[in-house]
Amino acid sequence: MYSLHIFDPEANRIQRSIRAHFHDLFIIDTNPPIQPKTLIHPDTIYMINMQQGGLALAMQIDQPATILLGETLNDAIEAYQAKHCFFIYRSLLDQYLIDGISKALACLEQFRTHLPIWHKNGYELISLASITYLERSGRMTYIHTSSQCFETYQKLANLQPYLSSSFVQCHHSFIVHSCYIASFQRTQIKLTDGTTLPISRSYAKTTKDSLHALIHI
């Protein structure tokens, strides 16, 4: 089930309009949380009023399935400072509310099969099926696929919620896609393309348990 967090003084009225069209959406009136990062989840839509610090909140939450509500043309321009999938003028909220929710839901559906990353050239969705492993080195994360490598400043911890259960963290710097594992030993994993990845002592047990569960041992 997807959830929706509303950060707006008229949250109750907005809820009533949404419930009439989206019965399975779990709606939470949050105005606003003290620690918004604790609410971040890839199955969540955020609807945020840009007034009274709303833009800063959207930038802190930093999630693409975000709907921004604004009053002016300047709000519409400033909205591009934060990740979002839809902007609605408050005067046109009743007219575009359903379109906004539909766009956000479509955005979430994409993330069930793709990993969203942001890099110096913009935004990209990478098919989970193509990813062989993720590597954190310095300030960069490298997403290795069967055909190329992508770079992003996003940390492994920020990307992990978007990954499926077939991805296993074997080291504080590596997450491996089990579909590409050819063999694994106590201290390393070998991929089908010959790449070897380390298994650190702190991740040894969880890696072994996860891989055994995936192959039903």
Instruction: Single out the residue of 190, 173, 76, 87 nearest to residue 134, CA to CA.
Output: 173
- For the chain, residues with pLDDT lower than 50 are 34, 37-39, 216-217
Are residues 93 and 119 located together in one domain of the fold? Answer: no
Q: Return the pLDDT at 34.
A: 44
β-strand pairing of 86-89 with 114-119: unpaired
Last residue of a domain, one of 95, 112, 129: 112
Are residues 133 and 174 located together in one domain of the fold? Answer: yes
Strand partners, 47: 6, 67
Q: Return the pLDDT at 179.
A: 87
Are residues 151 and 106 located together in one domain of the fold? Answer: no
Are residues 11 and 90 located together in one domain of the fold? Answer: yes
Last residue of a domain, one of 53, 78, 112: 112
Are residues 76 and 12 located together in one domain of the fold? Answer: yes
Are residues 107 and 205 located together in one domain of the fold? Answer: no
What whole-number distance in Å separates Cα of residue 27 and Cα of residue 6? Answer: 8
Residue type present at position 64: P
3-state secondary structure of 145: strand
Are residues 12 and 93 located together in one domain of the fold? Answer: yes
What whole-number distance in Å separates Cα of residue 194 and Cα of residue 22? Answer: 48
Q: Return the pLDDT at 217.
A: 41
Looking up residue 78, the CATH number of its domain turns out to be 3.40.50.2300
Domain count, the chain: 2
Are residues 40 and 76 located together in one domain of the fold? Answer: yes
Looking up residue 197, the CATH number of its domain turns out to be 2.40.50.1020
Q: What is the total residue count of the chain?
A: 217
Last residue of a domain, one of 82, 112, 142: 112
Are residues 146 and 207 located together in one domain of the fold? Answer: yes
Are residues 103 and 178 located together in one domain of the fold? Answer: no
Query: pTM of the entire structure?
Result: 0.59
Host domain of residue 129: 115-214
Are residues 71 and 136 located together in one domain of the fold? Answer: no
